[in-house]
Structure 1
Amino acid sequence: MSNLDKSSIVNMENTARYQTRSKLNVAFSTADRDSAVFIFNVTKGNKLLLLSSENVTGHIALKHSDGSFVKDTLHFTEPNINGRFEYYIPNDMLKREGTVTMQVFISEKGNSNVTVAERIVTFGIEKSIVSQISAETKLQYIVEYDELQAIIANRITDIEDKMANAEDYVSQLKQAREKGLSDIEIAKADSVKSLNDLADKRLEEINNKASEYSSKFDDDKQYMDEKHEAFKQSVLDSEVVTQGESKEWQKYKLTNDDGSYSLIDLQNKTENYYGLKTGIYYTTNTPHGISGVSTAGFSEMKIRQGSTVKRLTFRPYNSNRIFEKWFYNEWSDWKEIVTLSPDEKIETQNLAESRANETVTKANQYTTEQINNQHGVLFEGAANGVETNIKLTDDYTKYKILFISGSFGGGDFTQEYSTYLSGKIIIQKQMLLMRLETVADIMN
C-alpha cells in the first residue's frame, strides 16, 4: 500500500455480541483512482487475532445506492500472521456518487459455517469538482482519458489477479480433496460401513495433523524460550543499566570518572572564578586576594536552584585554613572559617557557660572565706550601769577597726573606732544593748 493512499481502518471483533450497522465517517471522491482503501483489523479482546491465508478467507460485498453490486475477496496486508486485511474500492464504483453499503465477513477455511468476524457499514462517495466541469473543456478530455486508461489498466489487473488466483483455486481444490467427506464421496458410499470408514480415516488424518502441529508448536516454544533466556543473559552479562534502575540516581557529575577533581586555571580573573558551576575543582591562579596563602587549592561552588544564592569555598593546597564567601545580589568579602589542630577542642556555648558559673562560684567561696577570716564578733549582750565591765572574746587591739552597734531608750546607733587613735572607748547611752564587731585589715 502506498503512503499516498486514502485509507480507513475498520475494526472487526471476534465476539458473540450484536454489532449494529454503523455509518462510517468516511467519504471518497469520484476522482479517486486506485487510492481508496479499507484496512480491516480482526481482533479479539482488543488484541489482533493470529490469522493468515492458511486458516481463513476474507469476503466483501459492496452495494451502491444506484443498485450496482460488487462481490470480491479480501487480501492480507502482509504475509505474516497479523490478522489484517485490505481492500481497494473498484474505480468503476468510485465513478458514481452516492452511498455504499459494505458487508465484510471472515470465515474459517474448510468449514463455511464458522464465521470468525462480520460487520456491515456504510460510507459515501462525493462528486468531485473535476467531474462537474463542462464537457467542452480540455480538462474533461483529460479526465476521460484517465478513466479510459484506468479501465484498460483495471482489465489488465483483473487478468493478472485471475492468473494469480489460479494458485488459490488449486489450493481450494486440494482442500476439498483433503476434506474427505465430500458430497461425492458420500454419494458413492453404498453402506454405513463405508461412511464410517471414511469418517475414521478423516479423523485419523486430523489427529495426525494435530499431533504434527502440536509437536511443532512445542519445538517453536522451546526455541523461543531459549532465545528469550539467552537475550536476558546477554543483557545481564553486558552490565546494561535500565532506566528503572537509574531513575533515582544522582545525574549531576561532580568528579571525573576516576574520582579526581578537574584542574582549572582561572588566570587570576574574578569572572572565571564566579562563573564556576556546581562542583569541586582544583584551581590555580585563583584570584582570592588573601595574603599569606597559595593561589592553588581546592575550590567548591554551591548554587541554589535559580542561581540567586551561591557559596564559594577555597582551601589552599598547603594549609588547613578554609575561606568562604557567598553571593546574594552581590558577593561578600572572604571570611575565614576557624580551624583547630587535632589536639584542640572547640569550646561550646554550654561548656563556656558552665566554666563561667564554676569560676563565679569559686570566687564567691574565696571571698566569703577571706571575709570570715578577717571579721569577728567580740561581744554581744547588754551593758547596764556606769562603768559596766564587758568581757570580750578576743583582744580588740589585734584589730584595726571596731564597729559598735546597739539600741537604747532613745533609739539605735552604730559607731566605729580606730584602735590606733585611742586606748579608750566610751559609750554613753541609757538602757544600752550593744554588739561589738571587729574587722582586721579591712583596708588591705
Structure 2
Amino acid sequence: MNNLDKNSIINMENTAKYQPRSKLNVSFSTADRDSAVFVFNVTKDNKPLLLSTENVTGHIALKHSDGSFVKDTLHFTEPDINGRFEYYLPNDILKREGTVTMQIFISEKGNSNVTVAERIVTFDIEKSIISQISAETKLQYIVEYDELQAIIANRITDIEDNMANAEDYVSQLEQVREKGLTDIEIAKTDNIKTLNDLADIRLEEMNSKASEYSSKFDADKQYMDEKHESFKESVLNSEVVTQGESEEWQKHKMTQSNGDRIRISDINPVNLESGYYQMWRMKNAPVGNDDSGTYWNIDVTTAFDDVKQIKAVLSYTGQTFQKNIHKGNDSGWKKLVSLPLDEEIETQNSAESRANETLTDANQYTDEQINNKHFILFDGNVSGTGKGFTLDDDIYNYNMLFVSGEFPGGVFTEPVLVKTIDNDLVIQRFNLSDDSGSLSKFYETLLTVIDNKNLKIKHDIAYNFETSKAISSSNVFAIYRIEGWK
C-alpha cells in the first residue's frame, strides 16, 4: 500500500451477533484514482482471526447509485496469517459521484456454505470540485487553456483548409488528365508518356503535402494532450483542501494560532464567546477591583438556549471561581474549594461512616456509663406482712432506688431518694373502682431496712373511704424489682 493512499479500515467480527447495515463516515473523491483503499480486519473476540489464502477467500460486491455493479475478489495485505484484506476501488467506480453499497464476504475454501464474516456498508463518492481552487489560480489556468485551445483550433482550421485545397488539386489534376488524354486521343500524338509523368509528379507532390499536414496535426494534438495532463497534474498536486475534507474541522478559534490563551483586557467575561483567555483589568471580577493588573485565566463555554459557563482562575494564587448562566439567568460567582494534596475531601459516604462510628462510640459509652450507674438489686416476687428478702448489693452505694411491683390499682414504680431513708421505705397508692369510681381505697406498705442488704415488709394495710374502716394485713402489695442508680 502506498503511503499516499487514502485508506479506510473496516472491522469484521466473526460472531453470531447481528451486525446492522451501517453508513460509513467515509467519502472519496472522483479525483482519487488508484488511491482509494479499503482495509478489512477479520477478528474474533477482538483478536485477529488466523486466515490465509490456504483456507479462505474474500469476495466483494459494489453497487453504485447509478445502477452500475462490480464483483471482485479481496487480497491479503501480507503473506502472514493476520486476518487482513485490502481492496483498491476501481477507477470506473470512482469516476462517478454518488453513493455506493458494498457487501463483503469472507468464506471458507471448499465449502461455499461456511461464511467466516460478512458485512454490508455504504460510502460516498463526491465530485472533485476544481472550483475550490482560488479564483486567481483558476483564471490563470483557464486563460492558458483557452489560448492553447485557440492556437490548436487555428492550426486545425489551416490543416482542414489545406486538405480541402488538396482535394481541389486532385480534382483539377483529374480534369487536366482527362483533358490531356482526350487531346492525345484526338491528336494521336506521342505525348501520352509525358502527360503520365506529369500527372505522377503532381500526385506525388500532393501526397507529400498531405503527409506533412498529417504529421503536423499529430504533433499539435500531442502538444495539446501534454498541456492538458500538465494542467490536471498541477491541480492534483496543488494541496487544495476540498469542502468534504474540511467538513469536520473545528470552525471556531479557541486559542491563539500558537496555542496560547487569547490575551484581552478591560472586559466582562460574561460578554466573551467560547474560548480560553488570559485577562487583566477584568471587569466584574470575583475578587479585587476592575483596574487590577492581576492575570486571570478564563475558560468560557457556551451552549444552546443562552447557557454559558465561565471558569476564572487567579493566576498567582490558583483560587478558582465559577459562574453559570442558565437561560440568561446569571447565578453569580461561586468559589470552588480546593485542598492540599495531603488532605482528602469528605464525601457523603465518609461523613456517614464517621457519624456511624461516633454514634456507635456514643452508644457504647452510654451503655457503659448506664451499666456502671445502674444495677438490679432485686428481681423476684415477694408479698405479705413479715416477709423479708435480700438485695444483691448495698443500697447505700446508690443515690436513687426504684421499687416496682403491683397493687389492686395496677402496677407501680416508686422512686426513693436513698439519703432520705432512715429505717423505713414507705409506698402509698390511691385507687377508685373501675365501673363507677364510687368505691375508693387508700393502700400503704412499709419496707423496713434490716441492714444494708436485707429488707422486710413491716406492714401492708388498706383504708376504705366508703366504710371509713382500716384493713390491717391486707397484703395487696407485691414487690417485683428494686433498681439502684448511682
Q: What is the TM-score with the length of structure 2 in the denominator?
A: 0.41
Higher strand proportion (structure 1 or 2):
2
